Amino acid sequence: MNLREKYNIPKNAVITVAGTVGVGKSTITNALANALQFRTSLEKVDSNPYLDKFYSDFSRWSFHLQIYFLAERFKEQKRIFEYGGGFIQDRSIYEDTGIFAKMHYDKGTMTNVDYETYRSLFEAMVMTPYFPHPDVLIYLEGSLEDILDRIKLRGRPMEQQTPIEYWQEMHKRYEDWINAFTFCPVLRININEYDLIADESSIENVIEKVATKMNRKVPVR
Ligand SMILES: Nc1ncnc2c1ncn2[C@@H]1O[C@H](COP(=O)(O)OP(=O)(O)O)[C@@H](O)[C@H]1O
Ligand SMILES: Nc1ncnc2c1ncn2[C@H]1C[C@H](O)[C@@H](COP(=O)(O)O)O1
Protein backbone atom coordinates (compact mmCIF):
# COMPACT_ATOMS: atom_id res chain seq x y z
CA MET A 1 0.00 0.00 0.00
CA ASN A 2 1.46 3.39 -0.93
CA LEU A 3 1.23 6.49 1.28
CA ARG A 4 -1.63 7.94 -0.76
CA GLU A 5 -3.72 4.84 -0.08
CA LYS A 6 -2.57 4.55 3.52
CA TYR A 7 -3.72 8.09 4.29
CA ASN A 8 -6.78 7.92 2.07
CA ILE A 9 -5.81 10.94 -0.04
CA PRO A 10 -8.07 11.09 -3.13
CA LYS A 11 -6.37 10.39 -6.46
CA ASN A 12 -7.67 13.67 -7.88
CA ALA A 13 -6.52 15.91 -5.01
CA VAL A 14 -4.70 19.16 -5.73
CA ILE A 15 -2.26 20.27 -3.03
CA THR A 16 -0.54 23.62 -3.39
CA VAL A 17 2.62 24.67 -1.56
CA ALA A 18 2.98 28.35 -0.67
CA GLY A 19 5.65 30.36 1.09
CA THR A 20 8.37 32.89 0.61
CA VAL A 21 11.32 32.52 -1.74
CA GLY A 22 13.79 29.86 -0.59
CA VAL A 23 11.59 28.39 2.17
CA GLY A 24 11.62 24.92 0.57
CA LYS A 25 8.54 24.73 -1.68
CA SER A 26 10.16 22.93 -4.63
CA THR A 27 11.87 20.44 -2.33
CA ILE A 28 8.66 19.46 -0.52
CA THR A 29 6.66 19.54 -3.79
CA ASN A 30 8.95 16.90 -5.30
CA ALA A 31 8.96 14.82 -2.10
CA LEU A 32 5.16 14.88 -1.80
CA ALA A 33 4.62 14.05 -5.46
CA ASN A 34 7.04 11.17 -5.17
CA ALA A 35 5.43 9.81 -2.01
CA LEU A 36 1.85 10.19 -3.25
CA GLN A 37 2.60 9.29 -6.88
CA PHE A 38 1.18 12.62 -8.02
CA ARG A 39 2.33 14.89 -10.83
CA THR A 40 4.16 18.14 -10.09
CA SER A 41 3.46 21.62 -11.30
CA LEU A 42 6.79 23.38 -10.77
CA GLU A 43 7.79 27.00 -11.26
CA LYS A 44 10.28 27.13 -14.13
CA VAL A 45 12.96 29.62 -13.19
CA ASP A 46 15.69 28.94 -15.78
CA SER A 47 13.41 29.44 -18.79
CA ASN A 48 11.75 32.60 -17.43
CA PRO A 49 12.72 35.35 -19.92
CA TYR A 50 12.08 38.25 -17.50
CA LEU A 51 13.29 37.11 -14.07
CA ASP A 52 16.97 38.11 -14.42
CA LYS A 53 16.05 41.44 -15.97
CA PHE A 54 13.46 42.04 -13.25
CA TYR A 55 16.02 41.57 -10.46
CA SER A 56 18.32 44.13 -12.11
CA ASP A 57 15.56 46.70 -12.66
CA PHE A 58 12.28 46.16 -10.78
CA SER A 59 10.52 49.25 -12.16
CA ARG A 60 11.27 48.45 -15.78
CA TRP A 61 10.21 44.79 -15.69
CA SER A 62 7.70 44.23 -12.89
CA PHE A 63 4.62 44.44 -15.12
CA HIS A 64 6.10 42.21 -17.82
CA LEU A 65 7.10 39.63 -15.21
CA GLN A 66 3.67 39.57 -13.54
CA ILE A 67 1.92 39.05 -16.87
CA TYR A 68 4.36 36.27 -17.71
CA PHE A 69 3.80 34.51 -14.36
CA LEU A 70 0.04 34.89 -14.66
CA ALA A 71 0.04 33.27 -18.10
CA GLU A 72 2.35 30.44 -16.95
CA ARG A 73 0.33 29.68 -13.84
CA PHE A 74 -2.94 29.80 -15.72
CA LYS A 75 -1.58 27.31 -18.28
CA GLU A 76 -0.54 25.06 -15.40
CA GLN A 77 -4.00 25.36 -13.89
CA LYS A 78 -5.47 24.23 -17.19
CA ARG A 79 -3.05 21.27 -17.32
CA ILE A 80 -4.07 20.22 -13.79
CA PHE A 81 -7.73 20.46 -14.76
CA GLU A 82 -7.18 18.44 -17.94
CA TYR A 83 -5.49 15.63 -16.01
CA GLY A 84 -8.34 15.67 -13.49
CA GLY A 85 -6.13 16.56 -10.49
CA GLY A 86 -3.55 14.42 -8.74
CA PHE A 87 -1.04 17.28 -8.53
CA ILE A 88 1.33 18.99 -6.14
CA GLN A 89 1.73 22.59 -7.16
CA ASP A 90 4.82 24.65 -6.33
CA ARG A 91 3.48 28.11 -5.37
CA SER A 92 -0.08 29.35 -5.72
CA ILE A 93 -1.42 31.87 -8.19
CA TYR A 94 -2.75 33.85 -5.19
CA GLU A 95 0.80 34.77 -4.14
CA ASP A 96 1.47 36.55 -7.43
CA THR A 97 -1.10 39.20 -6.71
CA GLY A 98 -1.32 39.03 -2.90
CA ILE A 99 2.44 39.22 -2.33
CA PHE A 100 4.52 40.16 -5.36
CA ALA A 101 2.40 42.54 -7.45
CA LYS A 102 1.08 44.32 -4.36
CA MET A 103 4.52 44.68 -2.82
CA HIS A 104 5.98 46.21 -5.98
CA TYR A 105 3.01 48.54 -6.30
CA ASP A 106 3.25 49.64 -2.65
CA LYS A 107 7.00 50.17 -2.97
CA GLY A 108 6.61 52.24 -6.15
CA THR A 109 8.26 49.74 -8.50
CA MET A 110 4.99 49.06 -10.32
CA THR A 111 2.91 52.00 -11.53
CA ASN A 112 -0.70 52.52 -10.54
CA VAL A 113 -1.92 51.97 -14.12
CA ASP A 114 0.12 48.77 -14.52
CA TYR A 115 -1.10 47.45 -11.17
CA GLU A 116 -4.75 48.15 -12.01
CA THR A 117 -4.38 46.53 -15.45
CA TYR A 118 -2.74 43.49 -13.88
CA ARG A 119 -5.36 43.20 -11.15
CA SER A 120 -8.28 43.46 -13.52
CA LEU A 121 -6.77 40.72 -15.68
CA PHE A 122 -6.09 38.58 -12.60
CA GLU A 123 -9.63 39.03 -11.33
CA ALA A 124 -11.21 38.26 -14.69
CA MET A 125 -9.13 35.07 -15.00
CA VAL A 126 -8.93 33.78 -11.46
CA MET A 127 -11.61 35.24 -9.24
CA THR A 128 -14.51 33.45 -10.90
CA PRO A 129 -16.63 30.54 -9.61
CA TYR A 130 -15.18 28.44 -12.46
CA PHE A 131 -11.62 28.60 -11.15
CA PRO A 132 -10.92 25.52 -8.98
CA HIS A 133 -9.15 26.19 -5.70
CA PRO A 134 -6.74 23.60 -4.22
CA ASP A 135 -7.98 21.01 -1.71
CA VAL A 136 -5.28 22.14 0.72
CA LEU A 137 -2.68 24.88 0.69
CA ILE A 138 0.45 23.93 2.62
CA TYR A 139 2.00 27.10 3.96
CA LEU A 140 5.70 26.73 4.77
CA GLU A 141 6.99 29.13 7.38
CA GLY A 142 10.35 29.69 9.02
CA SER A 143 12.52 32.39 10.54
CA LEU A 144 13.97 35.04 8.27
CA GLU A 145 17.48 33.90 9.26
CA ASP A 146 16.84 30.30 8.17
CA ILE A 147 15.30 31.46 4.90
CA LEU A 148 18.20 33.81 4.12
CA ASP A 149 20.58 30.90 4.75
CA ARG A 150 18.64 28.78 2.25
CA ILE A 151 18.62 31.53 -0.41
CA LYS A 152 22.38 31.78 0.05
CA LEU A 153 22.83 28.01 -0.06
CA ARG A 154 20.84 27.71 -3.29
CA GLY A 155 22.96 30.49 -4.77
CA ARG A 156 20.84 31.86 -7.64
CA PRO A 157 22.99 34.90 -8.62
CA MET A 158 20.02 37.26 -9.15
CA GLU A 159 18.79 36.55 -5.61
CA GLN A 160 22.26 36.99 -4.04
CA GLN A 161 22.57 40.55 -5.29
CA THR A 162 19.11 41.51 -4.02
CA PRO A 163 19.21 43.57 -0.78
CA ILE A 164 18.20 41.74 2.40
CA GLU A 165 15.45 44.35 2.94
CA TYR A 166 13.59 42.85 -0.03
CA TRP A 167 13.43 39.41 1.60
CA GLN A 168 12.63 40.99 4.96
CA GLU A 169 9.68 42.89 3.51
CA MET A 170 8.44 39.75 1.72
CA HIS A 171 8.73 37.66 4.90
CA LYS A 172 6.56 40.12 6.81
CA ARG A 173 3.98 40.37 4.03
CA TYR A 174 3.65 36.59 3.82
CA GLU A 175 2.64 36.41 7.49
CA ASP A 176 -0.12 39.01 7.00
CA TRP A 177 -1.22 37.39 3.73
CA ILE A 178 -1.63 33.88 5.14
CA ASN A 179 -3.51 35.16 8.18
CA ALA A 180 -6.13 36.65 5.83
CA PHE A 181 -6.19 33.77 3.30
CA THR A 182 -9.61 32.10 2.89
CA PHE A 183 -9.77 30.44 -0.56
CA CYS A 184 -9.14 26.89 0.74
CA PRO A 185 -8.04 25.05 3.93
CA VAL A 186 -4.52 25.97 5.05
CA LEU A 187 -2.00 23.63 6.65
CA ARG A 188 0.79 25.63 8.27
CA ILE A 189 4.07 23.81 8.65
CA ASN A 190 7.21 25.20 10.23
CA ILE A 191 10.35 24.21 8.33
CA ASN A 192 11.91 22.99 11.57
CA GLU A 193 9.20 20.33 11.88
CA TYR A 194 10.65 18.16 9.10
CA ASP A 195 13.98 17.70 7.33
CA LEU A 196 13.70 16.05 3.95
CA ILE A 197 17.41 16.35 3.32
CA ALA A 198 18.48 14.47 6.46
CA ASP A 199 15.48 12.13 6.55
CA GLU A 200 13.39 11.48 3.43
CA SER A 201 10.83 9.52 5.42
CA SER A 202 9.80 12.68 7.33
CA ILE A 203 7.43 13.30 4.40
CA GLU A 204 5.02 10.76 5.93
CA ASN A 205 4.40 13.07 8.84
CA VAL A 206 3.51 15.88 6.42
CA ILE A 207 1.13 13.56 4.53
CA GLU A 208 -0.58 12.60 7.77
CA LYS A 209 -1.18 16.30 8.51
CA VAL A 210 -2.49 16.87 4.98
CA ALA A 211 -4.92 13.95 5.41
CA THR A 212 -6.15 15.32 8.73
CA LYS A 213 -6.63 18.76 7.19
CA MET A 214 -8.62 17.17 4.35
CA ASN A 215 -10.74 15.28 6.92
CA ARG A 216 -9.57 11.89 5.66
CA LYS A 217 -9.47 8.92 8.01
CA VAL A 218 -5.88 8.49 9.18
CA PRO A 219 -4.51 5.13 10.38
CA VAL A 220 -3.62 4.76 14.05
CA ARG A 221 0.18 4.55 14.24
N1 LIG B 1 14.17 20.59 4.78
C2 LIG B 1 15.25 21.24 4.32
N3 LIG B 1 16.36 21.29 5.07
C4 LIG B 1 17.45 21.93 4.65
N5 LIG B 1 17.53 22.59 3.47
C6 LIG B 1 16.44 22.57 2.68
C7 LIG B 1 15.25 21.90 3.06
N8 LIG B 1 14.33 22.09 2.07
C9 LIG B 1 14.94 22.84 1.14
N10 LIG B 1 16.21 23.10 1.48
C11 LIG B 1 17.18 23.85 0.71
O12 LIG B 1 16.79 25.23 0.71
C13 LIG B 1 17.00 25.81 -0.57
C14 LIG B 1 15.69 26.38 -1.11
O15 LIG B 1 14.76 25.30 -1.31
P16 LIG B 1 13.70 25.32 -2.49
O17 LIG B 1 12.91 24.06 -2.35
O18 LIG B 1 14.37 25.57 -3.81
O19 LIG B 1 12.82 26.59 -2.05
P20 LIG B 1 11.67 27.37 -2.82
O21 LIG B 1 11.14 26.47 -3.89
O22 LIG B 1 10.68 27.66 -1.74
O23 LIG B 1 12.29 28.62 -3.32
C24 LIG B 1 17.59 24.72 -1.45
O25 LIG B 1 19.00 24.87 -1.45
C26 LIG B 1 17.17 23.43 -0.75
O27 LIG B 1 18.06 22.36 -0.99
N1 LIG C 1 4.85 36.85 -9.11
C2 LIG C 1 6.17 37.01 -8.93
N3 LIG C 1 6.72 38.24 -9.02
C4 LIG C 1 8.04 38.44 -8.83
N5 LIG C 1 8.91 37.45 -8.61
C6 LIG C 1 8.39 36.23 -8.51
C7 LIG C 1 7.03 35.94 -8.65
N8 LIG C 1 6.84 34.60 -8.49
C9 LIG C 1 8.05 34.08 -8.27
N10 LIG C 1 8.99 35.04 -8.29
C11 LIG C 1 10.44 34.87 -8.17
C12 LIG C 1 10.98 34.68 -6.81
C13 LIG C 1 12.17 33.77 -7.03
O14 LIG C 1 13.31 34.54 -7.36
C15 LIG C 1 11.78 32.95 -8.26
C16 LIG C 1 11.28 31.57 -7.96
O17 LIG C 1 10.53 31.54 -6.75
P18 LIG C 1 10.77 30.43 -5.63
O19 LIG C 1 10.02 30.93 -4.42
O20 LIG C 1 12.23 30.28 -5.40
O21 LIG C 1 10.17 29.17 -6.19
O22 LIG C 1 10.76 33.68 -8.90
What's the order of all strands across the beta sheet hosting 87-90? 39-41, 87-90, 14-18, 136-141, 186-190
Q: What is the ipTM of this complex?
A: 0.96
CA dihedral 68, 154, 41, 74 (to 10 degrees): -20
Residues with CB under 6 A from ligand 2: 21-22, 25-26, 43, 45, 51, 65-66, 69, 91, 96, 100, 159
Contact (CB, 8 A) for 57 and 50: no
Exposure on the CB side of residue 84, measured as CA atoms within 13 A: 3
**What is the 8-class DSSP label of residue 136?**
E
Q: Could you identify the atom of ligand 2 that is nearest to the CA of residue 25?
A: 21
For residue 126, name the pLDDT band (cuts at 50, 70, 90).
Answer: confident
pTM for this prediction = 0.96
- Residue 79 identity (one-letter amino acid): R
Domains of the chain: 3-213 (3.40.50.300)
Asked whether the predicted pLDDT for residue 221 surpasses 70, the reply is: no
Distance 139 CA to ligand 1 centre (A): 14
